[in-house]
Structure 1
């Protein structure tokens, strides 16, 4: 099978260099790479030139439209039987394409998603963020595993679709704010077979500091409401958990200030939750520092998502503003 790897890029030349280096190491060689510069001020032209002769690589420059429509631009130019989408901040294990090819040969999927993990070279903060986004104690725990809640929705940091899916479903119809979730749901609705390939893992850098992580998760919370506007039935109880957690934090702070008796119970609940994250991360990462940072990352993830979710739920669902 011939794969077209599609990578939208915006002002991240160093990231694309590291990603392309991992693609030169793929054991499966039947693929092309399309890098689409989405109106970047700091472009990657020099980086791309350095990979001439090392990869079957095509580089395009276009006006800024956002990642969804940039992927559509690539779909229209891709030559592959199957399109694979990566974020520019991913590193791809050497056997990734071989795993995908073998999996599709034995269990065909019209579209698939794969999990993400932290690379050993990541900073402690990046490893803590990765832990939080994949932890069973946060909503990240329902992503990228076989026991996810409801339909499996591939995410665009590690996602593949067949050419037939693109020909029938078209591309992304929104460019930001949950565009990959909307696309996955639409693919489901057309009767295509979608699933997880558990071993098709990528190393996902995400954000390098907690402020960037907060902004990203706040955006994700808003994105869930954007998806709701297209598919109201896809808003599940689990999506309210970060908002409930955020309100619980606020209530705990207030109850401690006012000295309500319930404050003691709230403090115990938060302490148990904190210890669960700390010891689980310590066990998984074998690092006290990462375990401590994982607690911070988990609280940021849930509260940032919760605040973004509540903001747009109030504005777009309750007040019905555009």
Structure 2
């Protein structure tokens, strides 16, 4: 297999430097190229790319802004490889990443794969807390690649692989602005392609979120799910309602507390204490444990409110 690593980027040259540096440190001596698609950035990374052209096989393209899905398609259309690895610009690869992907696909080939994300030990406490909220079994059930995650794994575009054949037959990513990676996975399955989770092919996801931007991100994720449910009704699950029910239940518990009923708030207190304890132990930091409570609440409310808004209003908007 000849790999092409496709990276859309928008105004984040520093992230590209870190990602390219992690690529030259790969322990595997494999044949791969890197295709960087600048999505209409005002602060480009071309000067960073020039620094690495002698160390990596690189293609660099600048195009008008059209969003990450269209930018990935643009890169895959111009890539030379026959298997594409899609990465977000804010990830860093561990040194074993390419060797793990290559050996697993040789042992069990599938036309698509996904891998988890993780927090590096040098990440900030907030970055670690966001990673915990998005990956913990206590918060998301491990749907982003934890081994104990329940159900069929849905690859995410921050770390996923696609064969050239699958790309050509499905026409790649749709024009959805959120949930486009899940939409693509569902269309791959409908076309008869198989995917797999490669658990050891994780990436360090260096999210540069604030609490406010994390809320907006999870809100967008929430708005995408009802749209996906309508497009692919067979994929609906009751668990997708959990963040919305959590948000409504939490608000109700606060209201009941004013009337002297504490039993519901006690349930949430126990649950959030479990998150605090688990995150503290996992990250060996009380500060990360506290922030993980904040980011978990942010995620539940962001996704839950986005889900409800999309469920109630997207039909009237013709979505």
* Fold conserved between structures, TM > 0.5: yes
Q: Distance in 2 between matches of 1:143 and 1:72?
A: 23
Contact 2:135 2:146 in 1 (8 A): no
1:138-177 → structure 2 map (5 Å cutoff): 138-139=139-140, 141-177=142-178
What SS does structure 2 have at the residue aligned with 1:145? coil
Contact 2:141 2:150 in 1 (8 A): no
Aligned residues: 318
Contact 1:87 1:156 in 2 (8 A): yes
In 2 relative to 1, CA 126–165 (structure 1 residues): closer, same or farther, beyond 3 Å? same
Q: Does 1:131 align with 2:122?
A: no
In 2 relative to 1, CA 151–75 (structure 1 residues): closer, same or farther, beyond 3 Å? same
Give 5+ residue unaligned stretches, structure 2.
Answer: none
Measured after TM superposition, the shift of residue 77 of structure 1 is: 0.6
Aligned equivalent of 1:82: 83
Measured after TM superposition, the shift of residue 208 of structure 1 is: 3.1
Contact 2:142 2:148 in 1 (8 A): no
Please report the RMSD computed on the Cα atoms of aligned residues, expressed in angstroms. Answer: 1.3
Aligned equivalent of 2:15: 15
Q: Alpha-carbon deviations, 1:293-319, whole Å to 9, x = none?
A: 1111111111111011111111024x4
Q: Distance in 1 between matches of 2:178 and 2:209?
A: 21
Q: Distance in 1 between matches of 2:145 and 2:208?
A: 19
Aligned equivalent of 1:184: 185
Measured after TM superposition, the shift of residue 235 of structure 1 is: 2.4
Give 5+ residue unaligned stretches, structure 1.
Answer: none
What SS does structure 2 have at the residue aligned with 1:11? coil
Contact 1:3 1:83 in 2 (8 A): yes
In 2 relative to 1, CA 93–149 (structure 1 residues): closer, same or farther, beyond 3 Å? same
Measured after TM superposition, the shift of residue 36 of structure 1 is: 0.1
Contact 1:139 1:238 in 2 (8 A): no
Measured after TM superposition, the shift of residue 128 of structure 1 is: 0.6
1:91-240 → structure 2 map (5 Å cutoff): 91-139=92-140, 141-240=142-241
Contact 1:5 1:33 in 2 (8 A): yes
Contact 2:244 2:305 in 1 (8 A): yes
Measured after TM superposition, the shift of residue 260 of structure 1 is: 4.7
In 2 relative to 1, CA 236–211 (structure 1 residues): closer, same or farther, beyond 3 Å? same
Contact 2:143 2:153 in 1 (8 A): no
